[in-house]
């Protein structure tokens, strides 16, 4: 059976396209890091969800492996900054055979959709999820307007 070179070229081109698509899929996955790429350079880490609950803003941030004492949350006017560090320590008496999770430092800032009352802010960490609850300032809360007929 004879094979034309153009058939091989087409096959290799399809394999290259498949490899590019697989690479793109992994790059889009939030937990993926290339060698030399740190979370500090990724502006979208930690990933967050922000919810408006009428009287408060609630933010959930994924911070796996980071304890509450290694997290810092600051609110300055309408900007929230999340920063912290994950420290990986080898238990005493053990040696490392493979280490894929290293020490990580991160900092991420984003703007809130409205003014919040800084006296009504709470932050908790549970199962690797940081939950921030910020009460809205009175002027930012929705008001019910009564409609009258004349």
User: CB of 107 within 8 A of CB of 83?
Assistant: yes
Q: Which of 72, 64, 137, 77 is nearest to 112 (CA)?
A: 77
Query: pLDDT: is 55 or 42 the higher one?
Result: 55
| pTM confidence score | 0.62
Domain boundaries, given as residue ranges, for the chain: 1-32, 39-90+101-140
Distance between CA atoms of 87 and 101, rounded to whole angstroms?
Answer: 9
pLDDT tens digits for 129-146? Answer: 999 999 888 777 777 778
Give the contacts of 130 (CB within 8 A, at least 6 positions apart).
Answer: 46, 59, 60, 61, 62, 63, 71, 73, 82, 123, 124
Q: What percentage of residues in the chain have a pLDDT greater than 70?
A: 84
The contacts of residue 32 (CB under 8 Å, 6+ apart) are: 26
Query: 18-24 long-range contacts, Cβ below 8 Å, gap at least 24?
Result: none
Token digits of residue 41? 């350079």
Mean pLDDT of the chain: 81
Residues of the chain with pLDDT > 90, as a percent, come to 19
Look at residue 73 in the predicted model and tell me its pLDDT. Answer: 92
CATH 2.60.40.790 for domain 39-90+101-140, yes or no, is yes
Two structure tokens written together for 103: 């020490």
Looking at residue 71, what is its pLDDT? 92
Over residues 67-115, the pLDDT tens digits come to 889 999 998 878 899 999 888 888 888 888 887 777 888 899 989 888 8
Label residue 2 by pLDDT band (50, 70, 90): low
Euclidean distance between CA atoms 150 and 146, whole angstroms: 13
Give the model's pLDDT for residue 123. 92
Which band of pLDDT confidence, cut at 50, 70 and 90, is reported for residue 24?
Answer: confident
């Amino acid at each position: 059976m004879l094979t034309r070179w153009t058939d091989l070229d087409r096959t290799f081109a399809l394999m290259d396209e498949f490899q590019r698509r697989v690479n793109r899929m992994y790059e889009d996955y939030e937990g993926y890091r290339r060698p030399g790429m740190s979370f500090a350079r990724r502006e979208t880490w930690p990933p967050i969800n922000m919810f408006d609950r009428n009287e408060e803003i609630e933010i959930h941030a994924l911070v796996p492996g980071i304890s509450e004492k290694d997290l810092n949350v600051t609110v300055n006017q309408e900007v929230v900054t999340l920063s912290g560090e994950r420290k990986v320590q080898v238990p005493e008496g053990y040696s490392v055979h493979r280490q894929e999770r290293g020490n990580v430092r991160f900092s991420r800032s984003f703007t809130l959709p409205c003014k919040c009352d800084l006296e009504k802010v709470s932050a908790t960490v549970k199962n690797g999820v940081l939950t921030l609850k910020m009460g809205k300032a009175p002027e930012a809360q929705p008001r019910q307007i009564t409609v009258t007929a004349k």
